[in-house]
A and B are shown apart, each in its own frame.
Chain A
Amino acid sequence: MPSTPAIRADRGQPSSQAGRVALNRGFLLVCLVATNFAVLLLAVLLISIAYKGLPWLFDFASIKASFSEGGDGFAGFKHWFRWEFFTEFTSRKAKSAGIRAPLWGSVWVCAICALTALPVGVGTAIYLEEFAPRNRVTRFIQTNIRNLAGVPSIVYGILGLTAFSRLFRVFGADEAWSIGDPESLFYLQLPFGQGVLAGGLTLMLVILPIIIIASQEAFRSIPNSLREASLALGSTKWQTVWNVTLPAAIPMIMTGSILAISRAIGEAAPLLVLGVPLFISNTPINMMSDFTILPMQIYNWASRPQEDFHGIAAAAIIVLLVVLLTFNAIAVFIRQKLHRSLA
């Protein structure tokens, strides 16, 4: 029987047990401090915003009255809010200023952004993952999309200004061509100018790479065995995508897209370049209407010297945060619910 050489694991000096334990503890401490630092900063930020902004959203006197003797308790909750903050346009006086214009502007712009970015982004992902040949051209496109996701959003603003707002100046001056009644919903002008359409398309550019990458990840996570099963039954590639791959990928696509759209709601920089007006006293009525958006209104108010404007800026921040957190909660909910049904 051949003898196996004994493995000598007892060479060298034994390392210090106490030292290893101390290092372990030390590292744990560093990590804890790092985590709590971030949480603490966020807490300070939220508290200071709530402190400044909540009085502009809620009518504390009315809440107090509801719960004092003779009050109507929760029945009177309608009077707790300062509804005028949502129904009024901005004003030179903070007391009578509201976010009606930027709120509706954000809704219009994000709706256009979502409706254009989703089909284009998911379509691109379907092509790249399911149809494109694995060659140099595809890899080039792939790399470029990944790079685009890291481009500062203000750069997209410049692109949006050139491509959508001015349409590369092929029509010469502004409002070179238009159809329909400017006061109705059906009105189109070329170039798009500073309307919600130009704004939405510019934001689409910002989030398109994110949506494409998220959708690609979604398609990549679908096991190949499902594609094979479908193809082996004699389906075409498109039938496989439509009936098997896309339905299975939709939860992940939705999660990524909702997060991307919630980023679009918070973007101010690209629309700043577009030349969005700050003081506006009407809500959009068609694709060409002037608009402003919440982040820009916040920036405008926060940069004024008066203390009261800082208050309504904080109140607008709270509204923006609530919208963003709602979107993120929906994304988490979809991920939880639909992932479970797939597994």
Chain B
Amino acid sequence: MSTPASPTPASPHPAVPFGQLRKPEAGNEALRPDPNAGRRSAISAKAFSSWYGSFQALHSLSMEVPVNEVTALIGPSGCGKSTFLRWMNRMNDMISSARAEGTLDLHGTNLLAPSTDVVELRRRVGMVFQKPNPFPKSIYDNIAYGPRLHRSMGRSDLDDLVEQALKAAALWNEVKDRLRASALGLSGGQQQRLCIARAIAVGPEVLLMDEPCSALDPRSTAAIEELISQLSEQYTIVIVTHNMQQAARVSDRTAFFYEGRLVECDETERIFTRPKHKQTEDYVTGRFG
């Protein structure tokens, strides 16, 4: 995309990455991960089950979410994929009847443990929701909201951070002249990119996306999808989607859920070309679901 007015050269990525996880510089061979190191898991579930009251939403599933890859969760409605996603940053804590068993690790520490600092967990595991949900505040204040919660920083540092987050979300050029305008005046697609910028401004390691394009038109969807591929260089991304083409386009790995069970989880290409299970094949070829 062209960024003629931008002071920095047109780069899809900001010069300074957010958060502690920094993708090794290209050219630095010593730091470049070997193919197997890419399998390092950001999140791993073992024998993970979840209930809403007496209804079991997830049945003892085990899977890995590799670092700096896009993992897509697909499956028909009510299959538990969103439930699984919302456990990864404990958003399910808001639902009093929800409980879980088994382990769900973020870089080796069980995030289900009662001792987990949920506030810190959510800073490390950001989330983008189905419907764009900007705060009824200015564009600037939306982005600055997260950073202001966690640290006090000077005016210019904050300005910088807001700019970088907006650039990372490919929104800077559209809004740089109206940062003080209400975020509610943006289009749906812009609002969703704003929400992504807001999520990465706190420097998360993992980004959870719950059907981020389902409320958007095709053009905005394309913009978000491009953004997802760009962001995956810096962030581990887990995306729930109903749209199988979208899963095929943006993800490296795909997990197919059916009726609360993980049927299959593999390289996206494999899932869509030669899945191991008949159910997966039926679903991805559109025979049901």
Q: Is the CB of B129 within 8 A of A229?
A: yes
B80 part of interface (Cβ distance < 8 Å) = no
Contact of A234 among B129, B133, B136, B146 (CB under 8 A): B146
Residue numbers in B under 8 Å from A227 (CB-CB): 94
Which residues on the B side are within 8 Å of A230 (C-beta)?
A: 135, 145
Are A233 and B120 in touch, CB under 8 angstroms? Answer: no
* Total number of A residues with any Cβ neighbor in B under 8 Å: 23
The interface residues of chain B lying within 8 Å CB-to-CB of A133 are: 96
Contact code string A224-243 (vs B, CB < 8 Å = 1, else 0): 01111111111110010001
Contact with A along B59-71 (1 / 0, CB 8 A): 0000000000000
**A234-B145 contact, Cβ under 8 Å, with A226-B135, A228-B91, A229-B195:** no
A234 close to B149 (CB less than 8 A):
yes
A228 pairs with B146, CB closer than 8 A:
no
Set of chain A residues within 8 Å of B119, measured between Cβ atoms: 234-236
**A208-261 interface (Cβ within 8 A of B):** 223, 225-236, 239, 243-244, 247-248
B35 to chain A, nearest CB (A): 32
- Interface residues in A160-209 by Cβ distance below 8 A to B read none
Smallest distance from the beta carbon of B228 to chain A beta carbons, Å? Answer: 17
**Bound form: Cα–Cα A234–B127 in Å:** 10
Which residues between 48 and 94 of chain B lie within 8 Å of chain A, taking CB atoms? 89, 91, 94
Does chain A have a CB within 8 A of B46? Answer: no
Question: When the two chains form the complex, which single residue of A223, A231, A343 contacts B91, counting CB atoms closer than 8 Å?
Answer: A231
B199–A232 touching, CB < 8 Å: yes
B150 pairs with A234, CB closer than 8 A = yes
* Complex interface residues of chain B between 142 and 182 (CB less than 8 A to chain A): 145-146, 149-150, 182
Would you call B193 an interface residue if the criterion is a C-beta within 8 Å of the partner chain's C-beta atoms?
A: no
Closest partner residue, chain B, to A342 (CB atom): B136
Q: Is B123 an interface residue (CB 8 A)?
A: yes
- Measured between beta carbons, the chain B residues less than 8 angstroms from A136 are none
Which A residues contact B (CB, under 8 angstroms)? 133-134, 223, 225-236, 239, 243-244, 247-248, 341-343
Closest 3 CB pairs of A and B: A234-B123, A225-B133, A232-B127
| Known interface pairs A233-B149, A233-B199; 19 further A-B residue pairs with C-beta atoms within 8 A, sorted by A's residue number | A134-B96, A225-B131, A227-B94, A228-B127, A229-B133, A229-B195, A230-B135, A230-B145, A231-B94, A232-B91, A233-B198, A234-B119, A234-B120, A234-B121, A234-B123, A234-B202, A235-B149, A341-B136, A341-B182
Q: List 15 A-B contacts (CB under 8 A).
A: A228-B127, A228-B129, A228-B133, A229-B135, A229-B195, A232-B89, A232-B91, A232-B129, A233-B123, A233-B199, A235-B119, A235-B146, A243-B145, A341-B182, A342-B136
